[in-house]
């Protein structure tokens, strides 16, 4: 259960028993499985397996419905078996029950019996497995199926020289390895199950839908006479153990080994096989040497590993042992199942690593879900995860690399070829783990070292800034409280400060074409109405034109509250026209809110005057407060008649931004800072900028995406995703209020944030009226269209429950409305609403619905209604076409 919620499992770290059962049966030759239950179980399991193995997975279902649930599913199951035999012709059928079948009490052995009575010649071997999904997990299900197989196969009890090898859920590639190992040791064996071919097939000229690989019934029948069983599982309970059964029923002695993963457990298996008469596998012993060599080569990197290991008990145990022998610390070990002595066995392993690394805490969790794993992963300092792709959400969220090596792997290819068995499989897995650690380090150590050790040179501008401010403050502090109050009030009706839901509109006046700095992300270009981004506008207005436009827009948009000056250049670069525009509009409308955007270079110069002109809101785009970073963003800065480049330019700009903002806030202006997030340039620096903005008394910061502009310096800079922006905003939200709804409006935007209407106010006054055309001679027709899809004329006239009504006028086709037939039901007999109408009643209603139309379009129509329509002078057109085309064709015919 979850760490946070005791009564719920949040993001399960386990699957159901039928999943394990189906997987096990895939290791038999010419075998199919049917799940006795409702259709979904088999479909979900097929999807889960098909995505992991990249193989077709055919699992039948008895497709129980309400009926079968109430009266029993015998008929369904018998029918299902018959159909499977006909379609697939299998030798063996595994019959697994599901939650549903078990709960309604289905007796599968009895049903099998009845099947054999109906089909006396049946040769197919049925193997039933009791499996309610709610009982245990896929781990137990897998061994229950293996146990059921050995219990049901007819054994040849005569002694033979074979060794039974029973394995848990391993990959097809690992299964092939195991066979190679056994062959190279010259051990005669029977492998149960053998999924090596069935779940990792070849591409062949012809495809066989029944898996041809796997262990045959004939081989299985020899298991009872084998000289030894080796069962490769650590935690399988006695009642699920096939080895235990073979021992009890046929006296086959057995040895249990852990999966041969890592040095110790592979050694152990080889040694057991040698005792059973196997010869030393020379080639494989070379692999052993190479694995040891690799262990040494990477031990120092591995010691930095803090692993989260999750999955089935046997897998988790093997992965922990592999990590332990390589000095990787499993800080969290988690399984969704519950097993007897798992905890003690794991503790032993983990404690050893913890001791030498002086790590004082680790966790071993049973019946665990991913919610819990996620909660602890950070706390326990994890830097790598090992398990199935179910860990991918944590990988994404916490940026913890995940080594995918267990079922299921849904987001990468090659699940069927994942290796971890034997020396070379262990080496392969170890390399993947080590390399993940190395990649992580390579990507992060520069930044980490920089943050930890690098201290910036003294060059802080704040001394200067304080001087400027304190001097001016003395003079400007009258009525500050009043100004602040008034400006706060204006903020309430400012859409940019209130979000998209705001009912208030704003207009941006494009009056300022000049700019005094060159940002690397900007190419000043006019007349690009397709792009909405700051600095792009259609027309540049003179102050007088701007005032005229304001008046015109105000008439059209009474909710207009804010006039913004946002470029397309810098609003302070040509202060004359800005000043003039503001005073003209102020004279027209003293209540208006002025909002001004600037790069801040000249803000110290004009802040006081802006306050006097009634500007209440100032936005400064400030992308950095560090000159090194700033020099990467700004190409040059034109200041006091000189052009400054590099860090000098950036330093001038920043000093002025800071003092300008400080001055503005001290005058009671509401200040916002815009920050353009530039990947690889200022992304890590943004919180510092936000801190600074807060310190200067800003209200809010707006972290924006870079909109790359062709031809600009930053044309090819990597895009910042919405997600990254949101993440940065969230992070900075703890410092200062963030703007989450920025639309990056055009410099001539008009309207509410959600509805730009600038296109309607372009050009001269009075041009908006749509030209009236001469329509005297044109005809008007109404058409009723019978359509199911709403896109095509694709329905029988008589089947229509509604009609799409189109008007044809002036050669233009317009959709008018959708008419529901039920609304035209005039109470005639048999017409009791749509569902219950009888045929005649419905036809009456339909005819009523279309009676004012000139034509009816349908895919098909009967003779009788056609006649009736004709009597009412309504033409019929039968066609199959897109509605618009069909109406056009029909109208043209009517026109003639």
Partner 1 sequence: MEARILDERKAFIVNGKKDIGCNFDAPAIKCDSDSLSGTVSQRACVYCGARVVLNPITDAFHIVHGPIGCASYTWDIRGSLTSGSDLYRNSFSTDLSDKDIVFGGEKKLAAAIEEIIEKHNPKLIFVYSTCIVGVIGDDVDAVCKQAEKKHGTRVISVKSPGFSGNKSYGYKMACNAILELIEPHKNQAKIKGVNILGDFNLAGEMWIIKNYLREIGIPVVATITGDSSCETLIKAPAAQLNLVQCAGSMTYLAKKMEEEMGIPFVKISFFGVEDTSASLIRIAEAIGSGENIQKAEAFTEMERNKLNSFMDKYKKNLEGKKAAIYVGGGFKAISLIRQFREMGIETVVVGTQTGKKEDYEVMESLVGKDTVILDDANPAELEAFMKQKGADILVGGVKERPLAYKLGIAFCDHNHERKHALAGYEGVINFTEEINLSLNSPVWKMVRG
Residue 7: CA atoms inside 13 Å, Cβ hemisphere, count?
A: 0
Closest separation in Å from C-beta 529 to partner 1: 11
Q: How far is the CB of 713 from partner 1 (least distance, A)?
A: 28
| Cβ 536 vs Cβ 525: under 8 Å | yes
CA angle 877, 878, 882 (to 5 degrees): 95
The DSSP call for residue 791 is S
Angle ∠(144,148,154) on CA atoms, nearest 5: 160
- Compare residues 61 and 318 and give the one whose CB is closer to partner 1: 61
Shortest distance, position 627 Cβ to partner 1, whole Å: 36
The residue (of 131 and 258) whose beta carbon lies closer to partner 1 is: 131
Instruction: Decide: residue 3, CB within 10 A, 0-12 exposed, 13-18 middle, 19+ buried.
Output: middle
> Least Å distance between CB 760 and partner 1?
7
Shortest approach of partner 1 to residue 41 CB, angstroms?
A: 7
Pick 65 or 867: Cβ nearer partner 1: 65
Listed in sequence order, the residues at least 6 apart from 571 whose beta carbon sits closer than 8 Å to its beta carbon are: 511, 512, 565, 578, 596, 597, 598
Minimal distance in Å, beta carbon 411 to partner 1?
A: 10
DSSP 442-468: HHHHHHHHHHHH--PPS--SHHHHHHH
Enumerate residues 6+ apart whose C-beta is below 8 A from 46. 57, 58, 59
Angle between helices 282-297 and 172-184 (to 10 degrees): 130
When the beta carbons of 460 and 754 are compared against partner 1, the nearer one is 754
CB of 89 to partner 1, least distance (A): 7
Structural contact between residues 680 and 718, judged by C-beta atoms closer than 8 angstroms: yes
Nearest approach, Cβ of 50 to partner 1 (angstroms)?
Answer: 5
Q: Which helix (H) or strand (E) holds 615?
A: strand 615-621
What six digits make up the tokens of 277? 């008469």
CB 493 within 8 A of CB 561: yes
Q: CB of residue 157 vs partner 1: minimum separation in angstroms?
A: 34
Contacts of 678 (CB under 8 A, 6+ apart): 521, 623, 633, 706, 714, 717, 720
Nearest to 232 by CA among 250, 214, 249, 255: 255
**What is the side-by-side strand order in the sheet with 92-97?**
60-61, 31-36, 92-97, 125-129
Residue closer to partner 1 (CB basis): 125 or 472: 125
SS3 330: strand
Q: Is the CB of 416 or the CB of 665 nearer to partner 1? A: 416
Compute the least distance from the CB of residue 63 to partner 1, in Å: 4
Q: Taking the complex as a whole, how short is the minimal distance between the CB of residue 877 and partner 1, in angstroms?
A: 14
Q: How far is 787 from 859, CA to CA, in rounded Å?
A: 8
Q: Phi first, then psi: give them for residue 347, nearest 5 degrees.
A: -55, -45
- Listing DSSP states for 85-132 in one string gives HHHH--SEEEEEE-HHHHHTT--HHHHHHHHHHH-TT--PEEEEE---
Rounded Cα gap, residues 309 and 316, in angstroms? 6
Max CA-CA distance within the chain? 110
Which parts of 791-854 fold into alpha helices (H)? 839-849
> DSSP letter at 530?
T
Q: How far is the CB of 180 from partner 1 (least distance, A)?
A: 25
Nearer to partner 1, 8 or 485 (CB): 8
Strand partners, 642: 639
Q: CA separation (Å) from 31 to 8, 115, 396?
A: 37, 18, 39
User: How many residues does this entry show for the chain?
Assistant: 896
> Which 3 state secondary structure label does DSSP give 228?
strand
Among all chains, which residue has been given the structure tokens 């805490």? 361
Which residue number, 137 or 229, has a Cβ lying nearer to partner 1?
137
Closest CB to partner 1 among 21 and 166?
Answer: 21
Q: With respect to partner 1, which residue has the nearer C-beta, 10 or 782?
A: 10
**Shortest Cβ 531–partner 1 spacing (Å):** 13
Q: Judged by CB, which is closer to partner 1: 211, or 260?
A: 211
In angstroms, the CA 488 to CA 699 distance is 10
Question: What is the nearest approach in angstroms of partner 1 to the Cβ of residue 15?
Answer: 5
Count of other CB atoms within 10 angstroms of residue 311: 27
Task: Choose between 55 and 608: whose C-beta lies nearer to partner 1.
Answer: 55
Nearer to partner 1, 63 or 318 (CB): 63
Six-digit token string for 306:
């803090």
Q: Quick one: 141 or 305, whose CB is closer to partner 1?
A: 141
Closer by beta carbon to partner 1, 232 or else 856: 856
Smallest gap from residue 554 Cβ to partner 1 (A): 19
Give the C-alpha distances (Å, rounded to integers) separating 820 from 799, 825, 833.
12, 10, 11
| CB of 725 vs partner 1, minimal distance in Å | 11
Q: Nearest approach, Cβ of 317 to partner 1 (angstroms)?
A: 22
- Name the residue nearer to partner 1 (CB basis): 55 or 274: 55
CB of 47 to partner 1, least distance (A): 5
Cβ-based neighbours of 790, under 8 Å, separated by 6 or more: 804, 883
Question: Of the two residues 337 and 637, which places its CB atom closer to partner 1 in the complex?
Answer: 337
Closer to partner 1 by CB, 206 or 716: give it.
206
């Amino acid at each position: 259960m979850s760490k946070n919620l005791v009564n719920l499992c949040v993001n399960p770290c386990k699957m159901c028993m039928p999943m394990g059962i189906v997987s096990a049966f895939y290791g038999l030759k010419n075998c199919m499985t049917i799940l006795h239950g409702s259709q979904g179980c088999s479909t979900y399991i097929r999807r889960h397996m098909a995505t992991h193995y990249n193989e077709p997975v055919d699992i039948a279902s008895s497709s129980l419905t309400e009926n079968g649930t109430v009266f029993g599913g015998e008929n369904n199951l018998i029918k299902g078996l018959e159909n499977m035999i006909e379609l697939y012709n299998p030798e063996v059928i595994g019959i697994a029950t599901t939650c549903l079948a078990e709960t309604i009490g289905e007796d599968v052995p009895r049903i099998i019996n009845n099947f054999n009575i109906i089909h006396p010649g049946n040769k197919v071997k049925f193997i039933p497995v009791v499996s309610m999904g709610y009982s245990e997990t896929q781990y137990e299900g897998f061994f229950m199926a293996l146990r059921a197989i050995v219990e049901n196969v007819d054994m040849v009890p005569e002694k033979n020289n074979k060794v039974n090898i029973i394995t848990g859920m391993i990959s097809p590639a690992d299964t092939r390895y195991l066979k190679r190992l056994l062959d190279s040791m010259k051990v005669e064996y029977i492998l149960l199950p053998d999924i090596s071919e069935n779940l990792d097939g070849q591409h062949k000229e012809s495809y066989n839908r029944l898996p041809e690989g796997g262990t045959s019934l004939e081989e299985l029948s020899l298991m009872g006479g084998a000289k030894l069983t080796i069962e490769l599982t650590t935690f399988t309970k006695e009642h699920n153990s096939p080895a235990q059964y073979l021992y009890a029923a046929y006296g086959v002695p057995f040895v249990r080994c852990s999966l041969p993963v890592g040095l110790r457990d592979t050694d152990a298996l080889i040694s057991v096989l040698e005792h059973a008469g196997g010869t030393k596998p020379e080639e494989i012993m070379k692999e052993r040497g190479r694995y040891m060599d690799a262990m040494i080569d990477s031990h120092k990197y591995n010691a930095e590993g803090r692993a989260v290991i999750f999955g089935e008990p046997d897998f988790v145990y093997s992965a922990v042992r592999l990590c332990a022998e390589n000095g990787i610390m499993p800080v969290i070990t988690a399984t969704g199942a519950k097993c007897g002595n798992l905890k003690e066995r794991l503790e032993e392993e983990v404690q050893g690593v913890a001791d030498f690394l002086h790590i004082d805490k680790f966790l071993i969790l049973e019946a665990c879900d991913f919610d819990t794993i996620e909660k602890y992963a950070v706390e326990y300092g994890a830097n790598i995860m090992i398990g199935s792709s179910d860990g991918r959400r944590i990988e994404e969220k916490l940026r913890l690399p995940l080594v995918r090596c267990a079922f299921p792997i849904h987001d990468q290819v090659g699940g069927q070829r994942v290796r971890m068995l034997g020396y070379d499989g262990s080496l392969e897995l170890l390399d993947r783990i080590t390399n993940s650690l190395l990649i992580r380090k390579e990507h992060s150590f520069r930044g980490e070292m920089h943050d930890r050790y690098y201290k910036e040179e003294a060059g802080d501008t704040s001394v200067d800034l304080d001087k400027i401010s304190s001097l001016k403050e003395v003079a400007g502090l009258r009525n500050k409280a009043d100004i602040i109050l008034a400006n706060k009030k204006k903020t309430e009706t400012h859409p940019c400060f209130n979000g998209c839901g705001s009912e208030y509109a704003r207009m941006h006046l494009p009056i300022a074409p000049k700019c005094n700095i060159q940002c690397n992300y900007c190419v000043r270009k006019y007349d690009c109405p397709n792009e909405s981004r700051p600095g792009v506008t259609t027309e540049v207005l003179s102050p007088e034109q701007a005032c005229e436009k304001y008046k015109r827009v105000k008439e059209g948009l009474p909710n207009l509250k804010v006039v913004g000056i946002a470029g397309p250049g810098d609003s302070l670069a040509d202060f004359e026209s800005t000043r003039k525009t503001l005073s003209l509009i102020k004279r027209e409308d003293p209540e208006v809110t002025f909002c001004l955007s600037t790069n801040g270079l000249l803000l110290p110069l004009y802040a006081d005057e802006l306050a006097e002109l009634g500007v209440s809101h100032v936005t400064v785009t400030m992308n950095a407060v560090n000159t090194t970073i700033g020099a990467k963003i700004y190409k040059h800065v034109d200041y006091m008649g000189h052009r400054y480049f590099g860090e000098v330019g950036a330093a001038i700009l920043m000093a002025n931004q800071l003092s300008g903002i400080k001055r503005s806030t001290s005058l009671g202006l509401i200040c916002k800072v815009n920050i353009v997030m530039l990947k690889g340039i200022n992304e890590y620096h943004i919180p510092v900028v936000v801190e600074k903005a807060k310190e200067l008394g800003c209200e809010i910061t707006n972290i924006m995406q870079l909109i790359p502009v062709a031809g600009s310096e930053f044309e090819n800079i990597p895009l910042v995703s919405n997600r990254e922006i949101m993440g940065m905003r969230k992070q900075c939200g703890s410092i200062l209020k963030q703007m989450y709804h920025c639309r990056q409006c055009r410099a001539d935007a008009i309207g509410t944030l959600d509805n730009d209407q600038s296109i309607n106010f372009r050009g001269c006054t009075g041009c908006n009226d749509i030209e009236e055309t001469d329509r005297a001679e044109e005809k008007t027709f109404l058409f009723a269209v019978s359509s199911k899809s709403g896109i095509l004329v694709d329905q029988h006239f008589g089947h229509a429950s509604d009609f799409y009504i189109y008007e044809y006028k002036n050669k233009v086709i317009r959709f008018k409305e959708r008419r529901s037939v039920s609304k035209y039901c005039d109470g005639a007999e048999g017409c009791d609403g749509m569902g219950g109408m009888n045929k005649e009643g419905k036809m009456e209603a339909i005819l009523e619905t279309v009676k004012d139309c000139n034509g009816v379009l349908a895919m098909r129509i009967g003779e009788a209604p056609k006649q009736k329509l004709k009597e009412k002078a309504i033409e019929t057109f039968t066609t199959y076409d897109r509605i618009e085309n069909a109406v056009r064709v029909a109208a043209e015919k009517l026109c003639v």
